Amino acid sequence: MIEFKNVSYSYNDSIGDNAAAVKDINLKINKGEFIGVAGHTGSGKTTVAQILAGLIKPCGGTILVDGIEYSDYKAAARVLRSKVGIVFQYPEHQLFEETVYRDIAFGPKNKGLSEEETDKCVRRSAALAHLKEELFEKSPFELSGGQKRRVAIAGVLATEPEVLILDEPAAGLDPSGRERLWGELHKIRKEQNTTIILISHSMEDLAQNAERIIVLNNGEKYKDDTVSNIFSDAALLKKCGLEIPEITKVIKLLNDGGMNIPENIFDITKLSDVICQRLGATL
């Protein structure tokens, strides 16, 4: 659906030198996928996300949207912005309206939807983000941190993006808040067939949720594969400063001790089931 061909980007830093942030990236994002983006700090994750969202103009390369190549960047940016929604880190810092309802309605109103359609959009995205309707008339600034974040995410969902990019959406949330967020993302994906791109430092979060992982290292695409293939090679990940998830480490240790457990299990309950089964079989 969105395709990058040799896309690169460099920042003009304050001294005037060019610092390449992203180099020759080729990637393909298909409809309905759940993609994880991993990489250490400064690897270019956020830059790639902003290029995808049509917010910064790449210095080189081409972007294809639905197979169409746009020669004019302005046209490409317009299409990208209408299709891609991005939830930045700490999205609650972007709330500005007097009421929760009006803040969520900002996106649909900008799209030029009528009052009725806007209302439908707001209610649907609030429900997706688990926001109760009684909060609608409250000021977003008097909500709790977790609620603020859900309002901000609902505000992005209300633009009905086909691709939803989330940059560290769980940062600063408590464990139950994180679990709920992942649940919401899977629900959004199932109900709207939305492509989800999750940027995260946490390998656990990526392993649990994504199907495909793109690993970035120093602005280059290092690896792009299914979750189980990515995490099967710990040495390779270590090279770019990443670790395999804790659960995979445990499985590897168990296997070293003679247990034969498939490494593509990333769910605790599933793993305990398999262990019980193995133990029951050998005992």
* 71 CB burial (10 A radius; 0-12, 13-18, 19+): exposed
How large is the C-alpha radius of gyration of the chain?
21
Give the type of residue at 166.
Answer: L
Q: Which is nearer to another protein, 48 or 251 (CB)?
A: 48
Strands 68-69 and 60-65: antiparallel
Q: Within positions 98 to 137, which residues make up the interface with another protein, using CB under 8 A? A: 106-107, 110-111
The residue within the footprint of another protein, chosen from 20, 27, 55, 64 (CB under 8 A), is 55
The residue within the footprint of another protein, chosen from 22, 25, 65, 86 (CB under 8 A), is 86
The residue within the footprint of another protein, chosen from 34, 88, 101, 136 (CB under 8 A), is 88
CB of 113 to another protein, least distance (A): 10
CB of 69 to another protein, least distance (A): 22
Q: Which is nearer to another protein, 155 or 245 (CB)?
A: 155
Measuring CA to CA, which residue among 71, 43, 258, 45 is closest to residue 165?
45
Q: Please state the length of the chain.
A: 283
Provide the H-helix boundaries in 113-232: 115-128, 145-157, 175-192, 203-209, 227-232
With contact defined as beta carbons under 8 Å apart, do 46 and 72 qualify?
no
Residue 81 is a binding residue for another protein (CB under 8 A): yes
Give the 3-state secondary structure of residue 150. Answer: helix
The residue within the footprint of another protein, chosen from 36, 39, 44, 155 (CB under 8 A), is 155
Q: Which is nearer to another protein, 164 or 237 (CB)?
A: 164
Cα separation, 227 vs 198, whole angstroms = 13
CB of 272 to another protein, least distance (A): 41
**Span interacting with another protein, options 81-89, 183-191, 215-223, 231-239, rule CB under 8 A:** 81-89
CB of 57 to another protein, least distance (A): 12
Q: Within positions 32 to 51, which residues make up the interface with another protein, using CB under 8 A? A: 50
Q: Within positions 239 to 268, which residues make up the interface with another protein, using CB under 8 A? A: none
Residue 200 is a binding residue for another protein (CB under 8 A): no
CA distances from 179 to 46, 106, 118, 173, 227 (A): 23, 27, 29, 10, 19
Give the 3-state secondary structure of residue 76. Answer: helix
Cα separation, 156 vs 164, whole angstroms = 8
Q: Which is nearer to another protein, 157 or 210 (CB)?
A: 157
Residue 93 is a binding residue for another protein (CB under 8 A): yes
Residue 73 is a binding residue for another protein (CB under 8 A): no
Residues that bind another protein (CB under 8 A): 12, 14-16, 50, 53-56, 81-82, 84-86, 88, 91, 93-96, 106-107, 110-111, 141, 155-156, 159
